[in-house]
Amino acid sequence: MSTVSVNILAIESSCDETSAAVIQNGKVLSNTIATQKVHERYGGVVPELASRAHMQNIVPVVDTALKDAGINKHDITAVAFTRSPGLIGSLLVGACFAKAYAQALDIPLIAVHHMQAHVLAHFIEDKPEFPFLCLTVSGGHTQIVLCRDYLDMEVLGQTIDDAAGEAFDKVAKMLGLPYPGGPLIDKYASEGDPLRFKFPMSEMKDYEFSFSGIKTAVLYFLQAQKKTDPAFVEKNINDICASVQYTIINMLMNKLRKAARDLDIKQVGIAGGVSANSGLRKAIKEEGDKNGWQVYIPRFEYCTDNAAMIGITGYYKYLTGAFADMTASPDARGSW
């Protein structure tokens, strides 16, 4: 007896990555990502430029995803797209494209929450057991999420101000590094001494985070040092990056450890762009060894923004019949 394949075409356009993927019965057939280089020189994502770049990229990116997957558009079962959160102009491009595609082919439309998708990126390959605890760290969010099931998630705590990725990017900017600075801090940190400089760790209640303090502390620290030595940054960049990274990772791990202990959960993972950080990947493995956790870390291409994670979420929503209608409009801050 032959089984019919469920082929999800997924579109991600929430920030500065235009991505399309094809997921067949929960397996990734293709995952095409066009990263927008245009923002580098501005030290951050420029929303209007992001929207325009999405408009230029979306057709070729979807074409490539279909070709790489070896799938004809008439074999697509449903179209999933990122509905929220994100930059409204960027979301609009993906949403309009997905709606038009679904309508033209007369197939269902599935609206996906970007942060839920970051968590479900774990189920592309590894498939953790439930309950699963996920620290999601991206450019816009820092959350500890309790997952009871694929689509049954609860945010236990999050940042009250900046996200961890934002802290990486802003410190990088102070050091004169281009956007996004997170990967560069990671690179310099690998050669530096994490204990050379001390930065304050925020003490927040429960599972909340705050990263605005470290950003300000680094700013004042650099201003003071540069007064006595204008070449301070160039001479010490490795140690500065290592020390900042060490402090951010400690703040993240302290809360993750607390949540895992309080809830007695041993299935623990990290997700989102900052989970590509080599120091954080090492730290969670070490913490896992100490506490008997089964640790989950997505492959690099599923950490930063990608449509495969939108596709896997779309697949689970498809299985439960959670479809959207043509009125599903993008929402910059929507909850799941």
Amino acid 250 reads N
Site for Zn ion in 245-264 (CB under 5 A): none
Question: Given candidates 138, 143, 277, 306, which one binds Zn ion under the rule CB under 5 A?
Answer: 138
**Three-state SS annotation for 187-253:** HHHCCCCCCCCCCCCCCCCCCCECCHHHHHHHHHHHHHHHHHCCCHHHHHHHHHHHHHHHHHHHHHH
CB 181 within 8 A of CB 45: no
Note whether 274 binds ligand KG4 by CB under 6 A: yes
d(CA 322, CA 211): 35
CB of 13 to ligand KG4, least distance (A): 12
Note whether 276 binds ligand KG4 by CB under 6 A: yes
Tell me, residue by residue from 128 to 147, as one string, x for binding to ligand KG4 by CB under 6 A and - for no binding: ----------xxx-------
Note whether 192 binds ligand KG4 by CB under 6 A: no
Site for ligand KG4 in 31-60 (CB under 6 A): none
Note whether 273 binds ligand KG4 by CB under 6 A: yes
Tell me, residue by residue from 281 to 310, as one string, x for binding to Zn ion by CB under 5 A and - for no binding: ------------------------x-----
- Per-residue tokens: 273: 């762009």
Amino acid 202 reads S
Q: In what order do the strands lie in the sheet with 27-35?
A: 27-35, 17-24, 7-12, 78-84, 109-113
Question: Given candidates 186, 240, 315, 324, which one binds ligand KG4 under the rule CB under 6 A?
Answer: 186
Note whether 269 binds ligand KG4 by CB under 6 A: no
- Per-residue tokens: 74: 């008439």
Considering CB distances under 5 to 8 angstroms, the limit depending on partner class, which of ligand KG4, Zn ion, none binds residue 19?
Answer: none
d(CA 165, CA 172): 11
CB atoms within 10 A of CB 215: 21
Note whether 305 binds ligand KG4 by CB under 6 A: yes
* DSSP conformation class of 70: T
Residue of this chain nearest to ligand KG4 (CB atom): 273
Note whether 246 binds ligand KG4 by CB under 6 A: no
DSSP character string of 287-320: HHHHHT-EEE---GGGTSS-HHHHHHHHHHHHHT
d(CA 263, CA 65): 40
Note whether 90 binds Zn ion by CB under 5 A: no
CB of 183 to ligand KG4, least distance (A): 4
Note whether 169 binds Zn ion by CB under 5 A: no
How far is CA 191 from each of CA 195, 221, 232, 233, 300, rounded to the nearest angstrom? 13, 21, 17, 15, 21
CB of 162 to Zn ion, least distance (A): 15
Task: Categorise residue 127: left if φ over 0, alpha if ψ from -120 to 50, beta otherwise.
Answer: left
CB of 96 to ligand KG4, least distance (A): 20
Residue of this chain nearest to Zn ion (CB atom): 138
Question: Given candidates 43, 108, 157, 180, which one binds ligand KG4 under the rule CB under 6 A?
Answer: 180
Of 99 and 118, the one with the shorter C-beta distance to ligand KG4 is 118
Note whether 143 binds Zn ion by CB under 5 A: no
Question: Given candidates 165, 213, 314, 330, which one binds ligand KG4 under the rule CB under 6 A?
Answer: 165
Of 75 and 161, the one with the shorter C-beta distance to ligand KG4 is 161
CB of 314 to ligand KG4, least distance (A): 17
- 176's CB contacts (< 8 A; 6+ apart) are 233
For Zn ion, the binding residues (CB under 5 A) are 138, 305
Per CB under 6 A, residues contacting ligand KG4 are 15, 138-140, 165, 168-169, 180-183, 186, 272-274, 276-277, 304-305
